[in-house]
Structures are given as C-alpha cells and as structure tokens.
Structure 1
Amino acid sequence: MLPIQNFKDFINHNSLFAQSNKILLAVSGGKDSVLMVHFFKLAGFDFGIAHCNFNLRADESQRDENFVRMLANSLEVPFYVTHFKTKSYAAIHKISTQMAARDLRYNWFEEIRQSENYDFIALAQHQDDAMETILLNLTRGTGIAGLHGILPKRDKLIRPLLFLSREQINELIVKNDIDFVEDSSNLSVDYARNKIRLKVIPHLKEINPNLEQTFEQNIQRFSETELVLQNVVSELRGHLITEKQNNLYLEVAKVKTLKPQRLLMFELLRPYGFSELVVIELLQALDKQSGTSFYSNSHRITIDRKNLILSPVVTENQQLAFIHINDQTVNILQHKLSMSFTDEPYFERGSERAFVDADKLIFPLVLRTWQSGDKFIPLGMKFFKKLSDFFIDNKIPLVEKGSVPILINGNGEVIWLGGMRQDERYKVTPSTKKVAIFSLK
C-alpha cells in the first residue's frame, strides 16, 4: 500500500492545493511521475496527465509516450501530449538541449493548464532532486535563493513528492509492483546533474548516510533565512527608494551605509535584472565621476552626484539589443554585429572590426544608439571625449548619429562606436589572454 496519509499530510502542511482543485500531472513515464499518478488516483483527487515527447531518444521517446497514454487510459483520466523539435529549438535560441527541453515543457504545461482550466501543475521531484539542485547551484555559484533548492510550491507549480527520497520511491515501486519505463539518459554522465547524482552524492553518503534528511533540514533553514532577508530588503526598499517621474532614486549616502553592502544591494536590484557582477562594479564606482551607467536586460542605473537613478532602459525612440556570452550575431537597425573569440592576442587596424580584451567584458553587453551624455576615450587618446563632440569632429550629420550602433559594456562604459572608433580602455595589450572580435556589417 502507498502511504496516502503521509502524502495528504504533506500537501496540507505546505498548502499545495485544496481537495476541490483540478491538477495537471507532468508525467514522463519514469518511476517518480508514475508513482505520483498512483498517489493522486488513490487519494481521490481530480487530475489529468500531460506528457512531452522531446524526440531525443528515437524509439525510446515513442515508447514512453505510448506507456503514459495507456496509463492515462487505464485510469480513465484526461491525457495531453505534444511533440517538440528540441534540438532545433536549442540551436535557434543558442541554449543547451536540457535548457531547451525545460523551456518547452514548462511553457506547454502552462498553456494546457490555462486552456483546460487546471488550477496547478504537479511535478514529481523528490528530496534527492532538491539536494542535487542545491549542490548544482553551489557548484555554479548561487545566492541564498539557490540554497533552498526546490520549493514545494511556487506560483502554479507544486511538488507533492518532496516528502520522499529516491530510495523510498524505489521501495514503493517494488512493493506495490508498479510498472514504469526507464529513461536511459538518466545513466549518462554527460549531464551535470547526473554527474552529481551518480558520482558525487554516493561519496557524500559515505560520510553521512542520512544525507537526504540532513539536506531536508538545511533546506528548511535556508528557506527561513531567505524569508528573513526578504523582510529586511522590503523594509530597506521603503527606506532607500523614492519614485519620481517613473524613475527610482537611491541616495548614495544611504547606500554606502548598508551592511553587508553587496548582498543587500544585489537583493534590492535583483527584481530589475542586475547581476551580482554588475552590482559589484556599481559599488566600486560610487565615488567616481557622475554619469556612469550600468545595465541589466531591462533597466539602467546611473550614478548622479547624490543619487543612483534607476530607469527602464528602452525609451520610445531608442534602438536596443543585448549580447550574451553565447551569442554569435545580433541585429540592430540595418546593422548586424557578430562576436567571436580567440586566444591569440592580436588585432588589426580598421573601422569595421574591434579587437577587445575579453577579460574586461561584463555580460550582457548592450548594443544601442547614441544617448545624450555618452562619452568614451578614443583609441590612442588619454582623455574622455563626448560622443556628440566626436560626431561633430568627424562631420557626422545630426540626422545620422542616431543610426550609429554603440557597443556598451555591462558596467555602462562605451567599448566601440560601431564602424568608427574603439575605446582605449578595451584595446588588446601584451598582457591580453583572450580577444573578443566584433565585426559590423
């Protein structure tokens, strides 16, 4: 028998959903999701089953789809299926296959939830998944939010199996003679998560056999710590930030008194898309010349004499594009900018290409048109020059200066006036280890 009462207790304790709610189950056909289906059936909840065929494992993918379809039919519950061209999507969006599959399935689940009037989407992640997520986040670098791993509930996503470990799920599958299909890719160490699951966690369990329980307790502590931090940041936001004419103002003097400064500023600016690296650059520049700007994907923050001014980055008349580290080409106006890298420290003279010290780049870069107040240090010179003066000196008509693409670093500094002049600060030097090459057509 399945521990139905434990299942219901976990749902109620975490307020995942009510008995009257209609739940869409994401089912791959593996042990975890199939067990979740049986829990929902025995508990008497109203649910349907959704299955994604990513077309990544040939006959295996079709086998999984057929199995889940038969499972839904045998239980007489609604069944939804879709097919994705996952590799094509990954290539078009320049992301990994795993990330492509994640984006595709979550977007589709939400479409089905809305169109078929489901209240929540249930995912079959368990305690080991949460533990793996924390270790993966720590390996890649994370804030406090990454330390609590997978939460039982977030928006319309619920995870009702987080009260079980992988070992407990395996035992329940065997004891209750539940059929499932095995995904062969789970055994591949080509994926980072699988490496942690198959190679790292077994060694950690030699040190602590109760690793799952320890991480469950840690997750609770981290979640509570994050809640405390959110409360502090919420109070700070009311104390530090004022709004004037659609712009937000933070007093520089008050920012300097924050302790710990980097953590609190990152949390204050995180809702506006600023990365931790950009926040560090911003704090280091507080005492420098006014007018320096820093960018996220959606906002700009500019250092004024007494305030940091936060504003949306796109204005009605401004053309803008963002360049991420894996991008190869970006379009703006009638121009196409391409980016490549080389380990050979060399450069060529010419206006159509810029050769930049790659270690000085802060992504995402911004490719935009001219703004009043823009300035740079022209290659070969020692002092700043306003772009407006540079345009005048080079006899660029007023009507044309708005069509010159300008490459901006993540810290707000001009890297290159596309097709015209590079900034001295980003030139290739004998100490350069990696060169970024920007070409404009």
Structure 2
Amino acid sequence: MLPLTQFQDFIDQNKLFSPGNRILLAVSGGKDSVLMLHLFKAIGVEVGVAHCNFNLRADEAQRDENFVKMLAASLNLPFYVTQFDTKKYAQENKVSTQMAARSLRYQWFEEIRNEENYDFIALAQHQNDAVETVLINLTRGTGISGLHGILPKRARLIRPMLFLNRQEIDQLVDENDISYVEDSSNLSTNYTRNKIRLEVVPHLQEINPNLEKTFTENIARFAEIEQFLALRVKKIEEKIVVKKGDGIYISLHKIAKLNPQKLLLFELLKPYGFTESLIAEVISSLKSLSGTQFFSASHQAIINRNNLVIVEKHADVIENQFFHPVTKTISFGALQIAQTFTEELKYESNKQKAFVDLNKLIYPLILRNWQNGDKFIPLGMRNFKKVSDFFIDEKVPLHLKTSTPILINGNGDVVWIAGMRQDNRYKLTATTKKVAIFELKIN
C-alpha cells in the first residue's frame, strides 16, 4: 500500500499547498519522482508532468523521456517535455554540467508553471538528498542557511517526499510493483553528490544507522534557528539601517556595537550580495579613511565619514548624452534631466532646477560625468572653483561624485552640477529674454 496518510499529513503540516491548487510534477522517470507521481494521483490532486531531457546519456536519456511520456499518458495526465544542450550551456556560462542542468530545469519548470497556470512545482527530493546537501554545503563552506539543506517549501517549489528516505522509497516501489527507469549516472563518482552518496554517507551510517532521521531533526532545528535569526536581524535593521534616495546608510558607530559583529553584519549585507570574506574586510576597515570601497557582484559599499553607504553598482563613466533645442528629456543612469523653455523671467531657489539664460547656450549641450580638472563659478560667487573641491566642501559622498550629471555648454563651460549648483555666468539677468529650465528627476 502507498503511504497516503503520511503523505497527506506531511503536506498539511508543512502547508505545501491548498486544496484546489494545481501542481506541476518534475518527473525524471526514477524511483523517487515516479513514486511521487503515483502518490499525487492517489490523493486526487490535479497535476501535470514535466520532464527534462538533458541529452547527457545518449539513448538512455531518450529512453527516460519516452518512459515518462507513456506513464503520463497511461494516467491521463498533461505532459510537458523539453530538451537541452546542457554541455553547450555549461561551456558558454563557465559552470559545471550539474549546475547547468539545475539552472536550465528550474528556469523551464517556472516557465511551464506560469504558462499553464500551475500553482506549485513539486520536486521528488527525499531525506537522503537533504543529508547530502548539508554535507556538500559544510564541505564547501556555508552559513546557517546552508545547514538546513533542503526545505519542504521555498517560494513556488515544494518537496513533498522529504518524509521518506531512500530505503523506504525502494521498499515502497518494490511492494507496489511500480515501474521506473534507472539513471546509470547515479552510480558514477564523477559528480560531487554521487561521491558523497556512495563513499561518504555509508561510513556515517556505520556510526549512526539512523543518519537520515538525525539529519532531518537537525535540519528542522537549523531552520528554526534561521527564522529566529531573521527576526533578530529585522529588528536590528529597523534600528540602524537608514534608506535614502541615494543609498542605504548604516552608522559605523552602530556597526561597531553589533554583537556578534561579523554574523549580524553579514546578515544585514547579504541581500546586497556581500560574502563573508568581504564582510571580514569591511569590519577590518571600519576605521579606514573615508572613501574606502568594497564591491559585491551587484553593489558597492563605501565608507563615507561616519557611515557605511551601500549603493547599486554602476559604471563610473556613463556615455555622454547630448541636449539639442528640441530635446525634452535625457536619461542619465537612474536619473533623468528635463529641458523646457519660457519667456517668463522667473527663478526658483531649488537645487533640482537650473534657470539658464538661453542666449548664452551653445547647442548641442553635453551631459556627462564629472572629469578631473572641471571648474566653474558657483552661483553667487565671482571666482572659479574646482568641481572636486566643491564636492569636498559640500561633503558629497564618493558614490554621488561619480554619478552626478554635469551639464556642459557647447564652449566647454560647466553650466550646472545637476541637483547641486549652477554656474554664475549663466544666471538670469535683466537682459535675459528667454530662459532654459533644466530639472533633475529620478527615473
């Protein structure tokens, strides 16, 4: 008999899905996924069957595809199939074959889920898979999230087979005379997971015959610890993280008071792609000179006086943009500059706007990054000042220096440091007949 009560109990206890939800089953043709398919069919949930052919095992891969197709047809279930050139993808993206297959299948599963209106994707990973995942994570190095291994539910992915171990699955398949296909690559130690499964786990089972049960209990505890930590970090974030329009600010003084410092700062900066090794560098540099920078794949962190400022990473140099008389708006990174004209001699004390004597402009104007040597006469002053010195006097953070648009006249003069100060030479006077208005906006 199939363990339908245990299966349903596990689904209910972990709130994997609700009655009436449609589930897309990832079925390879092996024991685990085929048993999962029969369990879902037996409890009456509406399901579809998805199969990936990675073209890694020649005729065997085609055999698996044909088997799953016939199985879905025999159960009168919708069937979805795709084929990948996995090795080509791995080479082009410079990843392992396993990582390539993982990326390809999850992306495709999500596409099918969306296109065919399924609520969740069910994967047939079981307790032994969870054990192997934790061991791999520990071997490679991991934070607390890696200790809980595979969770029963994460976003739209559910794993309803985690209530069983491999031995129990083998026994159920035999007792219920369930047909399946065997993946010969499971016996190869060329893959990390197989090496753990075939060479490491058996030795651990000699020490603890109930290894899967022990790991399942540990994983549950680690998952609860992670939840507790997340709540703690959220409270700390609310107290010390300040989100502004130009970045995320964390007081260096408050970072110094974090305890345990490395763990909590890592959790605070993890959403921005900062690794543990980078966190260690940040901590060792907290007393460094203002301007010290650290980079993740997506963000940069800058020590700016009394704060650590996190901003999205962008190219320091943005391609020059040109204003013509007919130009209405120009995008400059995350910013936008609008141009309008008026014959009304009006002026607003607003740093987001520049009111310029149109007769003094030589088109096309250039909108570009600050360059070393730029100088201008700040509005209200008589003498030239280097833009770099102006930034220092205004205490402009480094990340804003490199992203602030500078409006340049056709003769090379700085007309406006966008959002900060316009040049005194281009102010409105009694002889001004027409006004060009430039306004800084955020896209």
What TM-score comes out, normalization by structure 1 length?
A: 0.72
How far residue 19 of structure 1 moved from its aligned partner, in angstroms, is 2.0
CA distance in 1, matches of 2:4, 2:246: 52
> Which residue identity is paired with 1:194?
N
How far residue 262 of structure 1 moved from its aligned partner, in angstroms, is 0.6
CA distance in 2, matches of 1:12, 1:47: 17
Matched, 1:169 2:169: yes
Identity of aligned residues (%): 60
How far residue 275 of structure 1 moved from its aligned partner, in angstroms, is 1.0
CA distance in 1, matches of 2:249, 2:51: 47
1:394 match:
none
How far residue 244 of structure 1 moved from its aligned partner, in angstroms, is 2.1
CA distance in 1, matches of 2:54, 2:20: 32
How far residue 41 of structure 1 moved from its aligned partner, in angstroms, is 0.7
Matched, 1:271 2:271: yes
Matched, 1:82 2:86: no
2:180 match:
180
Matched, 1:94 2:94: yes
Question: Residues 92-241 of structure 1: matches in 2 within 5 Å?
Answer: 92-241=92-241
2:21 match:
21
CA distance in 2, matches of 1:246, 1:4: 55
CA distance in 2, matches of 1:305, 1:197: 51
Does the 8 Å CA contact 2:132/2:197 hold for their aligned counterparts?
A: yes
The count of corresponding residues between Structure 1 and Structure 2 is 326
SS for the counterpart of 1:42 is helix
Q: 4+ residue runs of structure 1 moved beyond 4 angstroms?
A: 369-373
> Which residue identity is paired with 2:40?
F
RMSD value over aligned CA atoms? 1.7
CA distance in 2, matches of 1:217, 1:32: 21
Unaligned stretches of 5+ residues in structure 1:
320-368, 374-387, 389-401, 403-441
Does the 8 Å CA contact 2:317/2:369 hold for their aligned counterparts?
A: no
Deviations 1:375-431 (CA, angstroms, capped at 9, x unpaired) = xxxxxxxxxxxxx9xxxxxxxxxxxxx9xxxxxxxxxxxxxxxxxxxxxxxxxxxxx
SS for the counterpart of 2:124 is coil
How far residue 232 of structure 1 moved from its aligned partner, in angstroms, is 0.7
CA distance in 2, matches of 1:42, 1:194: 31
CA distance in 2, matches of 1:207, 1:145: 26
> Which residue identity is paired with 1:274?
F
2:344 match:
none
CA distance in 2, matches of 1:255, 1:301: 14
Question: Residues 252-401 of structure 1: matches in 2 within 5 Å?
Answer: 252-314=252-314, 317-318=317-318
> Which residue identity is paired with 2:147?
L
SS for the counterpart of 2:89 is helix
Gap change, CA 1:312 and 1:372, over 3 Å in 2: farther
Deviations 1:270-297 (CA, angstroms, capped at 9, x unpaired) = 0011111111111101111110110111
Deviations 1:135-179 (CA, angstroms, capped at 9, x unpaired) = 000000000000000000000000000000000000000000100
SS for the counterpart of 2:36 is helix
1:7 match:
7
> Which residue identity is paired with 1:67?
F
Deviations 1:180-234 (CA, angstroms, capped at 9, x unpaired) = 0000000000111111100111000101111111001101110110011101100
1:51 match:
51
2:322 match:
none
SS for the counterpart of 2:162 is coil
What TM-score comes out, normalization by structure 2 length?
A: 0.72
